[in-house]
Structure 1
């Protein structure tokens, strides 16, 4: 049994799935539909099939590593234990970018949505207000935050299902011949290069299945629950994304007629359900940013906790767990304060931080499975080679393609952050003459 002042194992499979889905943000499917439909010439659901298939290989890699290392550090711990402690720190440092950026993005989206509805209220109030709410909820307890997220995620799914039903009704009334048409999946206008370009844009829709690995230390039977959670979060998200976009694309195969391609989904919501449904749709968008921001802050605080407990960053602050709330309270507050940089950044800049950090995590978790196989795996068979080498290589190959799609700003910002981390590690380890502190994860397992 955990002593007071440490993370408590209290999460079940349902809690883990809810946090993963909240982080992933089901409503993100509506944010990207117009852009990806234009890029793929009306084949968004096919692009989702492609990216879902590719992401599954990386999800399997996470599942393998969390069984071996069921603690809070996620890819930071996997790289530290499997490859090298110094590389592990740098990977954790870079990955933190993605966890930090998502609360900022959600605060920015809240400002955009609410400022449009309440133009007389200063925009900064929405940013500060959202960050304050998610910070308080995360401080008072992970289980409370998870229960709140359950309601928020359910609301998003209910709205998503309603959206699909209204879309089907419009198809049957206006274009019954397009009901279950294959045109949304494959047609003469389908082009492989544009399909992959669309898939690259949609890859970020699946960020979330990996974030739940940071909850391993607070999950009951993590070696069983977390791998199941990873797969189910990716599967549920994939089915939801495909279903929604299939019927949207069937009803509107060409989005060029919309006033704002980036805002095609709200226009569609108004067309299929009128102003009343549009109001609920916008409410769903706000719920989405709240749920995703809360989950992102949770994951970021646990990554900092793992690094603080190891002593790689000041343990007294980052490795501290509040004895009453059983949460890393200082980390949560620090993430909240850093998220206030949304007051100075725009959406494109914040998204750049997510891209670089997420692709680093995806790359190294696949590499860790391969390295673990050749260093520590005793079984040598055809099937183990497929599972531990071929599948991770497929996942890595797709992530490398995503790296190519990054813009110069993302790469420059990511490299600057990486160099800062290397500089810190250089002095922390006395010019790389000693290894950074490590925690023995076996004593934390349960």
Structure 2
């Protein structure tokens, strides 16, 4: 009998943090700044602060669940083992939206960047090259992917640091020391909570990196300790970075002429701050971020598909296969590469709409999973348990619900349509193929 090949445990804490930060992409604070500034009426750091608070509670729920279920399925695994197997499948199906469409978005963004430099270069060729590079890198080894991530993430950190430093220098020259400590970016008389929530809903997907690393639990050494520490570090580092950078950018924006190009706000401000050279530096950092984010999202999606294949809710021979030499789910990665090529036929708005829906679905049900596992199943009812397993996830759920209420209607329609497809597949699986989801050995 042929020995079954499984994922290799080779990742340690710093690998996990780099992967999570790479998925988040530090320079995304500049890519989305103009849009969120308009949505929040000039209070981007306040939007980030609100998002970080909401995400910290949800990250706490992820930390609790990965300690109990250190497997590669993330939210899919947590829900199907604590609440209901069929619901777990639907949650896993929903979160695939994030990981399927993030590489597409990055491929599209990369093609936009290349088109600005080389207008005559075919967009489809840029997308094909982009998908080919990310797919081949992920096939050979997760550690090769990490090595590439390290270089690109360091470059992004340097760029964010220089951008922030230039903002501080111009604020000191323009407004003096008091210009560094203005409350205007965080709070002003025209701040509206509804606008702030709308901005926070847009920013929620920026923190998906902590969810992504939970899909690598089966490849991590001592995952019950390493992954929870990694989750906390990822959220804290990203939150501090985003709030700080957006605070000084929002403050410095008032020193220069009004920028009409909403999406290009940060790029134009970069030129004001440091000339064409620094604008090019920001451009290159943003370009590298697309590769890092795409590689990590493809890695995460392939592991979720692997978990579903291993559990038998997707064909096991294909989705549950691990290459004996590379130690990676090769078929899943190739499939995701082919799906990524559909970016040739999509636009950025359509692809982006899917992501936040999947993220909020995962966040909501992971919070609920903590309650069902610890309070309902394990019946932990002490004071500390109630705080950790009832109050904290309840606060996290309520904060995520606020973000749901401010989600774009277009995203809701597309997301619900995707869920309907998943439910249809589940019904076919249960009624035509007579597969009882509740009897699948999820511990296999």
TM range (shorter): over 0.9
Structure 1 SS opposite 2:190: coil
Deviation at residue 368 of structure 1 after TM alignment: 0.6
Paired with 2:320 and 2:257, the residues of 1 have a C-alpha distance of 52
Between the two proteins, the alignment pairs up a number of residues equal to 440
- 1:336 Cα deviation (Å)? 0.7
Report what 1:434 is aligned to. 436
1:89-104 maps to which residues of 2 (within 5 A)?
A: 89-104=89-104
3-state SS of the aligned residue for 2:144? helix
Aligned to 2:361: 360
- Native 8 Å contact 2:201 2:404 kept in 1: no
User: Which residue does the alignment assign to 1:323?
Assistant: 324
- Alignment match, 1:82: 82
CA distance in 2, matches of 1:236, 1:140: 29
Q: What is the match of residue 335 of structure 2? A: 334
User: For residue 113 of structure 1, what is the aligned residue in structure 2?
Assistant: 113
Q: Distance in 2 between matches of 1:142 and 1:241?
A: 27
Q: Is the 8 A contact 2:197 2:406 kept in 1?
A: no
Q: 2:170 aligned with 1:147, yes or no?
A: no
2:429/2:435 contact within 8 Å kept: no
Deviation larger for 84-93 or 172-181: 172-181
Q: Which residue of 2 aligns with 1:380?
A: 381
1:42, 1:254 within 8 Å by CA — same for their partners in 2? no
Taking structure 1 as reference, are residues 56 and 254 closer, same or farther at Cα in structure 2, changes over 3 Å only? farther
| TM-aligned CA distance change 1:414 to 1:170, over 3 Å | same
Q: CA RMSD in A?
A: 1.7
Change (3 A) 1:433 1:255: farther
- Rounded Cα–Cα distance in structure 2 between residues aligned with 1:163 and 1:382: 46
Q: Label 1:417 to 1:165 Cα distance change in 2 as closer, same or farther (>3 A).
A: same
**In the alignment, does 2:248 pair up with 1:222?**
no
TM-aligned CA distance change 1:324 to 1:92, over 3 Å: same
Tell me how far 1:189 sits from its aligned partner: 2.4
How far apart, CA to CA, are the structure 2 residues paired with 1:43 and 1:419?
36
The secondary structure found in structure 2 opposite 1:398 is helix
8 Å contact kept, 1:428–1:436: no
Which position in structure 2 is the counterpart of 1:298?
A: 299
1:279 and 1:381 map into 2 onto residues whose CA distance is 57
Q: How does 1:32-431 map to 2 (within 5 A)?
A: 32-176=32-176, 177-253=178-254, 257-430=258-431
Q: Determine helix, strand or coil for the equivalent of 2:437.
A: coil
Describe the SS at the equivalent of 2:209. Answer: coil
- Following superposition, the deviation at residue 125 of structure 1 comes to 1.1
User: Do 2:306 and 2:332's aligned partners in 1 also have CA atoms closer than 8 Å?
Assistant: yes
TM-score (norm 1): 0.95
Matched residue SS, 2:431: coil
1:253 Cα deviation after fit: 4.2
Is contact 1:311–1:438 with CA below 8 Å preserved after alignment? yes
- TM-score, normalised with respect to structure 2: 0.95
Please give the secondary structure, in 2, of the residue aligned with 1:41.
coil
- Work out whether residues 41 and 254 of structure 1, in 8 Å CA contact, stay in contact via their aligned partners in 2: no
Kindly state the Cα deviation for residue 254 of structure 1 after the two structures are TM-superposed.
8.5
Q: Displacement, 1:182? A: 2.3
